[in-house]
Amino acid sequence: MSFRHLWAVTKKEINHILRDSYTLFLVLFTPTLLLLFMAYALTVDLKNIPIAVVDYDRSQISRAFVHQITAGQDLDLFAHVESMDEIEHLLMKGEIKAAVIISPKFSQDLFSLQGVPLQVIIDGTEPASGGFAVDHIGLRAEEFINDMLKEQFERRGVSLASLQPIDLRIRTWYNPSLKPRNDLIPGLISMVLGMPALSVALTMAHEREHGTMEQLMSTPIRRTELLLGKIFPYLLVGLTNVILIPALAMVWFKVPFNGSFPLFFFLSAIFLFAILSMGMIIGVFMRTQAAALALSFLLIFFPGFFLTGIFFPIASMPEIMRMESLVLPGTHYAVITRGIFLTGIGIETLWPYAIMLFGLGIVFTGIAVLFFRKKLG
């Protein structure tokens, strides 16, 4: 392989990018901008979820109960209503996310054999707030009983060390506050750093659409030289972002960085190699840029978002999808990113993922070279 040929292609490509300042700006900063948007959109801490209460009991106890539930920041008492109809109406309008219905015999049946049913209706159409409401209402209800019970037993002179017989000692590693932001952002970073692949998919189709491919193919340039030469500038773009974006994340979002940056840089380069060559495969097969970008959206962007385990654990996916996610470089890179940012692990632990990424890169490049023919039509 001739370095001179490779470098000629890279130089040309760089000139091409640099001379279109509008596109250059977009290519360089889309990852950063995307990260900003997504980080804000997807890592919102839930609070102030509005709920309504229908209290058919209206006793001191039920009022205390309502108070318990809505104390604090998590749940907001939107309204104290009189009927189920009103509840239905409010839920329909989306003004409340959950409703608690206190039955008339609440305070009476509290201490009866069968207990008291507490009806909680949640708006299941919103993924996060519904579950959140359920949890918190459940928790508060729990606290309430426990307090009541404690009171009861103390009155009878029985002391119980703990009403919750099993004491859970919980420790959370790497992200003590369990704030979604801390682990989602490294995940988003891993996704966003792969964006240059979309541009790579376009570059071959661009040559075909503009007719320069014909002249290019009449020269003795080799396929590998052409493909790698075209990937290289985007590798540089990617690496620039590898420096910029974590810096942004740390400064702006205060995400911790517990690992080694040189290692991160090195592993990111391997990731870029893998995902850029994935983009190149698309470029090799598509004749027009429109088709290339549609396909790269479908195969790189969309799966990169949903199937790489950033939001949704891969363990919970069906078998086939789990296997598919293995083929996506983003999956492995997400583990690496999280590992270096949050866990602070090093190459001793991460090497399998590095190997996997490198292997994917070789396979993808191989496929691209194999299927790229220096022929028209």
Partner 1 sequence: METDQPIIETRDLTRDYKEIKAVVSLNVSIPSGELFGLVGPDGAGKTTTLRLLAGLLDISDGSATIAGFDLATQAEEIKSRIGYMAQQFSLYAELTVVENLLFFADLYDVDTAVLGERMNRLLAFAGLTDFKKRRADKLSGGMQKKLALACSLIHEPEILLLDEPTTGVDPISRREFWNILTELHLRGTTIVVSTPYMDEADRCSRVGLMFEGKMIMCDEPRQIKKAVEGDLIIIRPDDWQKAYKLVNTLRGIHEVQTYGGSLHMIVDDAQKRLPEIQKAFKKMNMSYKDARQAPTRMEEVFISLIKRMEE
Partner 2 sequence: MLKRIWSLTVKEFIHLRNDWWLPVFMLFGGVLELLLVAWATSRPISNLPLMILDQDQSAASREIVTALEKTGTFSLYAYVQSFDEIQDALDRGKVNAVIIIPSGFNEAIATTGGQPTLAVILNGAESIPATEALRAIEGVTREIGEKIFIKKLGLKSQDLASFNPSLRVWFNESLSEAYYTTPAELALMLEFTVLLFAALAFSRERELGTLEQLLVMPFTSLEIIIGKSIPVIIIGFFDFILMLTMIHFAFGVPVRGSIVLLLVLAFGYLLVELGKGLVISVISRTQHQAFLLVLLIGMVDFMFTGYAAPVESMPKVLQTIANIIPAHHWLVIVRGIMLKGSGLDILWPNVLALAILGLIIGSASLIYIRRALD
How far apart are alpha carbons 27 and 196 in whole angstroms? 7
377 binds, among partner 1, partner 2, none (CB under 5 to 8 A by kind): partner 1
What's the Cα-to-Cα distance from 145 to each of 110, 114, 139, 152, 164, rounded to whole Å? Answer: 9, 14, 10, 10, 11
Output 92 or 247, the one with its CB closest to partner 2: 92
The 3-state DSSP class for residue 322 equals: helix
Who's near 370: CB < 8 A, 6+ residues apart? none
Closest distance of CB 354 from partner 2, Å: 13
Q: What is the full DSSP assignment across 41-97?
A: HH-PPP--EEEEEEESS--HHHHHHHHHHH-SSSEEEEEEES-HHHHHHHHHHTS-S
Token pair for residue 86? 């009103």
Who's near 319: CB < 8 A, 6+ residues apart? none
How far apart are alpha carbons 93 and 73 in whole angstroms? 23
Residue keyed to tokens 């193919």 = 217
Q: Binder to partner 1 among 12, 89, 150, 322 (CB under 8 A)?
A: 12
Output 42 or 236, the one with its CB closest to partner 2: 42
Output 12 or 322, the one with its CB closest to partner 1: 12
Does 377 contact partner 1 by CB under 8 A? yes
Closest distance of CB 374 from partner 2, Å: 22
Question: What secondary structure letter does DSSP report for 125?
Answer: T
Kindly report the number of other CB atoms within 10 A of residue 110's CB atom. Answer: 18
Q: Give residues 217-276 in contact with partner 1 (rule: CB under 8 A).
A: 217-222
Contact status, residue 190 vs residue 310, Cβ threshold 8 Å: yes
Does 11 contact partner 1 by CB under 8 A? yes
Does 313 contact partner 1 by CB under 8 A? no
Provide the b/e sequence for 14-52 (b: ≥16 CB within 10 Å). Answer: eebbeeeeeeeeebeebbbeebbebbeeebeebeebbbb
The residue range among 32-40, 215-223, 292-300, 358-366 that interacts with partner 1, by the rule CB under 8 A, is: 215-223
Q: Binder to partner 1 among 211, 262, 313, 318 (CB under 8 A)?
A: 211
Does 312 contact partner 1 by CB under 8 A? no
15 binds, among partner 2, partner 1, none (CB under 5 to 8 A by kind): partner 1
Comparing C-alpha atoms, which of 344, 342, 345 is closest to residue 255? Answer: 342
Output 224 or 317, the one with its CB closest to partner 2: 317
Output 162 or 215, the one with its CB closest to partner 2: 162
375 binds, among partner 1, partner 2, none (CB under 5 to 8 A by kind): partner 1
Token pair for residue 97? 């996310």
Closest distance of CB 204 from partner 1, Å: 14
The residue range among 24-32, 47-55, 209-217, 299-307 that interacts with partner 1, by the rule CB under 8 A, is: 209-217
126 binds, among partner 2, partner 1, none (CB under 5 to 8 A by kind): partner 2
Comparing C-alpha atoms, which of 29, 321, 17, 350 is closest to residue 192? Answer: 29
Output 4 or 171, the one with its CB closest to partner 1: 4
Closest distance of CB 337 from partner 2, Å: 10
150 binds, among partner 1, partner 2, none (CB under 5 to 8 A by kind): none
4 binds, among partner 1, partner 2, none (CB under 5 to 8 A by kind): partner 1
Comparing C-alpha atoms, which of 49, 65, 74, 80 is closest to residue 143? Answer: 65
How far apart are alpha carbons 157 and 159 in whole angstroms? 6
Does 125 contact partner 1 by CB under 8 A? no
Output 217 or 239, the one with its CB closest to partner 1: 217
Output 83 or 219, the one with its CB closest to partner 1: 219
Closest distance of CB 180 from partner 2, Å: 5
Contact status, residue 355 vs residue 336, Cβ threshold 8 Å: no
Residues that bind partner 1 (CB under 8 A): 2, 4-5, 7-8, 11-12, 15-16, 19-20, 210-212, 214-222, 374-377
